[in-house]
Structure 1
Amino acid sequence: MAKHFITQVPGTPIPLSPISQAVVVGNTCHISGQLATYDDGYRPGSSHEEAEHAFELLFRIAEHAGFERSDIVYVDIAFIDMTRDVAAINALYGALFTNPPARTIYQAVAMRD
């Protein structure tokens, strides 16, 4: 089956690693994890602000690949501090999706500065 590698979507920052932003295989799109990065690098903000920007990038990449927000079926979300951040992210997640996709959430302490 043919694969289409998307390495740089216009309007998104250049990836920080040697990765494809997405790979389309058939009618499935696999999108790499998104962070609150901009053209000038990472900009720390509240958990809501950072997640909102990461989702904005995710949606841009999906659209560029020919998919819609409603096509998203699964999301992984990594938190630095789940106890502090999960309520804000749950509110955002609920607002972004009419039919929320399945998801896994986990705490990634090593992401701390």
Structure 2
Amino acid sequence: MTEPAPKVRLTTTTRLVLDLFLATGPDDPLWGYRITEETGLGPGIVYPLLERLEKARWITATWETGVSEDRPRRRFYTLSGTGRQQYAALRAVRERLPRWKWAPGGARH
């Protein structure tokens, strides 16, 4: 029996990465280093997040084929249909809440 996918917390960091997935097309693959560069997040944040999103089945990963000799092989990440649906659902719920309810600590801004 397959174990259930873990839940994804919709933090600011998670939203930054998922928004990047939504902004790129299938012909414009994302890999860890590129995600760090485009989001401004460090690898110590990005790689564990990618691992959690993959375990939750929100993204899928495949290894690059035809590797260049001047750099390591890349692991490409793609937003899955499940990830796209779940993220859209969480965003819809969040947009209906007053801003102070989803601010860190529930503080009003």
Which TM-score applies when normalising by structure 1?
Answer: 0.28
Highest Rg: 1 or 2? 2
Q: Which has the higher contact order (CA 8 A, sep 6+)?
A: 2
